Amino acid sequence: MRGRKIIIGVTGGIACYKAVSLISALRQQNFQVQVVMTENAARFVTPVTFRAISRQPVCVEEFAAGGEPVPHIGLVEDAALFVVAPTTANTIAKLANGLADNVLTASFLAARCPKIIVPSMNTAMWENSLTQENLQKLQKHGVAIIEPDSGYLACGVSGAGRYPDNKIILQKIQETLGFTAKLRGKKIIITGGGTREPLDPVRVLTNNSSGQMGLALQAAAEKAGADVVYINAAALDVSGLKAKIAAEFAGADALIMAAAVSDYRAAQVSPRKIKSAPKKLTIELTKTEDLLKYFAGQKKKQYLVGFALESEDLLKNAEQKLREKNLDLIAANDISALGGVEATVILLDKNGAAETLEKLPKVQIAERIIERIATAFCA
């Protein structure tokens, strides 16, 4: 789940129980959350609570992480974002000076990903010029700061220093990760990878699809706020893939068939392993069902996207597939794209408009396809 791992650092302020609902909201949005706590934070809310809510072991003590000698390095390596919520004045001072005296401060220093802090403290501590100077220093070093709210504080006075609404923190997280709301509320089914048709109990008929495009589309659709159902075709034969799509199709707003679906299957699957004794073996193949055609027949509101992989007459063949399969959009790519990180793709829509995406990383092609779907929903 690279790109969806968020480290939540929790420091020992009275507001640290509010981090529990922040983590719960992140989990509901399909983020993987790793909690790192200071020992003081663990006095306010036990690591057990955070473990249950994040569904991950929690890091509290530098040397108690069970056999991992430098846990802070491994923790942050694949993180997309580091958020410290709440952040006490004490931790702010440590972070501003590059201290690494506990697992939270050490992993913050070791993290290369974007960082956000959520200061929460007594008004006098917040307004103290030392705290403000530390915050300015952190800001200068690229750390984003979410300003505290004003209101009634646990110490009995009213003033600045209150932990802000988690909605504001969630919004900042989305924004920092480049997430938008273009497809919020839309359910998108994405298939990826190559299907596997059995020949006998051990052998399968499959293809060279790497599955990269499907995963890139999944990431792009999630970034656009869609409710994504990703179906990995690599674990399925064509009828299995059809059943999985069918289970989701009625409630879906779009289906993107990036899966390389086998055009043929064995006419008869051998119940026993085919012996390798004969010099020549003939296997009769029969055509599989065209899934896009089938779902085009079931379509109500769904926007259908197909892919065409061609070795010649790219545009002509893609146009024909668009029409025959009754698609809204087809992404036509040359066979040279197979397995590579980059591809040249022509996006052809049912109105006849063609858009060429010249030698772009698949991640950017996926983002453009998702943008096209979002635009179509607005029309």
Q: How far is the CB of 305 from ligand CTP (least distance, A)?
A: 8
Interface stretch with ligand CTP, choices 53-61, 126-134, 253-261, 343-351 (CB under 6 A):
253-261
Q: Is 117 in the site for ligand CTP (CB under 6 A)?
A: no
Q: Is 347 in the site for ligand CTP (CB under 6 A)?
A: no
For 78, phi then psi, to 5°, come to: -110, 20
Q: How far is the CB of 99 from ligand CTP (least distance, A)?
A: 53
| Options 104, 205, 257, 366; binder of ligand CTP; rule CB under 6 A | 257
CA distances to 30, 71, 217, 248, 329 from 226, in Å = 11, 34, 11, 14, 18
Pair 15, 120: CB distance under 8 Å? yes
Q: Are strands 264-266 and 285-287 parallel, antiparallel or unpaired?
A: antiparallel
| Options 71, 86, 148, 306; binder of ligand CTP; rule CB under 6 A | 306
With 0-12 / 13-18 / 19 or more C-beta atoms within 10 angstroms meaning exposed / middle / buried, residue 97 is exposed
DSSP state of 283: -
Q: How far is the CB of 238 from ligand CTP (least distance, A)?
A: 6
DSSP state of 271: S
Nearer to ligand CTP, 53 or 322 (CB): 322
Q: Is 291 in the site for ligand CTP (CB under 6 A)?
A: yes
**Nearest CA-CA partner of 259 in 331, 335, 188, 194:** 194
Nearer to ligand CTP, 164 or 192 (CB): 192
Q: Is 244 in the site for ligand CTP (CB under 6 A)?
A: no
Interface stretch with ligand CTP, choices 46-54, 149-157, 206-214, 304-312 (CB under 6 A):
304-312
Q: Is 290 in the site for ligand CTP (CB under 6 A)?
A: yes
Q: How far is the CB of 359 from ligand CTP (least distance, A)?
A: 21
Q: CA-to-CA distance for 367 and 365, rounded, in angstroms?
A: 5
Q: How far is the CB of 319 from ligand CTP (least distance, A)?
A: 13
Structure tokens at 332: 């036509």
Pair 194, 209: CB distance under 8 Å? yes
Q: Is 6 in the site for ligand CTP (CB under 6 A)?
A: no
Q: CA-to-CA distance for 188 and 249, rounded, in angstroms?
A: 9
> How would you label 139-155 residue by residue, b for 16+ Cβ within 10 Å and e otherwise?
eeeebbbbebeeeebee
Question: Which residue among 16, 113, 155, 378 is the active-site one?
Answer: 155
Q: Is 261 in the site for ligand CTP (CB under 6 A)?
A: yes
| Options 182, 223, 265, 321; binder of ligand CTP; rule CB under 6 A | 321
Q: CA-to-CA distance for 180 and 299, rounded, in angstroms?
A: 27
Structure tokens at 183: 């497809």
Q: Is 212 in the site for ligand CTP (CB under 6 A)?
A: no
Q: Is 196 in the site for ligand CTP (CB under 6 A)?
A: no
> How would you label 236-255 residue by residue, b for 16+ Cβ within 10 Å and e otherwise?
bbbeebbebbeeebeebbbb
| Options 91, 102, 120, 288; binder of ligand CTP; rule CB under 6 A | 288
Please indicate whether residue 155 is annotated as part of the active site: yes
Q: Is 334 in the site for ligand CTP (CB under 6 A)?
A: no
Q: CA-to-CA distance for 368 and 216, rounded, in angstroms?
A: 11
- Lay out the site mask for ligand CTP across 216-235 (x = CB under 6 A, - = otherwise): --------------------
> How would you label 333-368 residue by residue, b for 16+ Cβ within 10 Å and e otherwise?
bbeebeeeeebbbbbbbeeeeeeebeebebbebbbb
Q: Is 153 in the site for ligand CTP (CB under 6 A)?
A: no
Q: Is 242 in the site for ligand CTP (CB under 6 A)?
A: no
Interface stretch with ligand CTP, choices 98-106, 118-126, 180-188, 258-266 (CB under 6 A):
258-266
Question: What residue ranges bind ligand CTP (CB under 6 A)?
Answer: 238, 257, 259, 261, 263, 288, 290-292, 306-309, 321
Catalytic residues: 155
